[in-house]
Amino acid sequence: MTKIKDKTVLVTGGASGIGKMLGEKCLKQGATELVIWDIHQQNLTLVTEELRQKGYTVHPYLVDVSSLDDIRRAATLTLTEVGRIDILFNNAGIIVGKSFTEHTHEDIERTIRINVLGVMHVARVFGGEMIRQGSGHIINIASAAGLVPNPKMSVYAGSKWAVLGFSESIRLEFEALNDELNFDLHVTTVTPSYIDTGMFTGVKAPLLAPLLKPEDITDDILEAVKNNDIILRAPWSVYLIPVLRGILPARVFDMVVGYGLNIYSSMTSFVGRTTQDAVSNEKNTVKVN
């Protein structure tokens, strides 16, 4: 079982949303130090000051996870100034809520760089260190969108399908090392449905999948970490998707699940939000943490 107490935790996209909640809850549960990587200096400064005023040890780093050079720079600083990372939450990501042909090439490029390459490069840096130290836990925040297609989520869904396959593959590699060398390495993949953090303004929650409350899903994630769970899906209905996709013909799945449960129409009235926290100036691009 992974212990949070007395551990050093790193959260990418950790200055807002569920990333901020995960970091603060880890500190409340006894984590010794929290490392926050985020692209937004103002949020980073505010969260760091807030947590330090509560007596916690926090190390903020301004990082753009779409840039390999930035990841390498920040990783070197983190490992030099903080030392080992015991628990890594790969949480940073973006979504562009448009039909595929409305995406710009820049939308596509940035989504893949952040949601896929960023996750892989960050995991590569700290996963390698975890192997050297013989222990560690990586939590990759994927999405239920990695299990089911959805109009107006094409690039985002594609990125999360990639994260799901990647995350499960490195889990198997870590488990092989555990068996061979008696290491204590773990990977947990999280595939939540829509989370009610305000970034999915206009989304219509599908039937059987109400908007997840941030407090609840972050509690569930931390419990999954402590239990070394392989996969956390939320809400419960998300567990049905792989089963139904496996047994139903594609057209029947579309009719019964996609259209019948309103999954395929859930993004129809998506608006998103445009704030100073957005990683893009595109109207329908929002930051996800």
Q: What is the tens place of the pLDDT at every residue in 101-124? A: 999 999 999 999 999 999 999 999
pLDDT at residue 271, rounded to an integer: 79
Q: Which residue has the tokens 């445009």?
A: 274
Of 276, 275, 273, 166, which is closest to residue 284 (Cα–Cα)?
A: 273
pLDDT at residue 197, rounded to an integer: 78
Cα dihedral sign for 13, 232, 24, 73?
negative
pLDDT at residue 38, rounded to an integer: 98
pLDDT at residue 89, rounded to an integer: 99
| Residues of the chain where predicted confidence (pLDDT) is lower than 70 | 198-199, 272-289
Q: Which among 156, 194, 239, 264 is annotated as catalytic? A: 156
pLDDT at residue 55, rounded to an integer: 98
CB 234, CB 212: distance < 8 Å: yes
Task: Show Cβ contacts of residue 8 under 8 Å, excluding neighbours closer than 6 positions.
Answer: 31, 32, 33, 34, 35, 82, 83, 84, 85, 86, 87
Q: How far, in Å, CA of 174 to CA of 185, rounded? A: 6
Catalytic residue flag (residue 61): no
Domains of the chain in sequence order: 8-288 (3.40.50.720)
pLDDT at residue 284, rounded to an integer: 38
- Residue range 202-257, pLDDT digits in tens: 789 999 999 999 999 999 999 999 999 999 999 999 999 999 999 999 999 999 99
User: For the whole prediction, is pTM greater than 0.85?
Assistant: yes
In three-state secondary structure terms, 96 is strand
CB 113, CB 164: distance < 8 Å: no
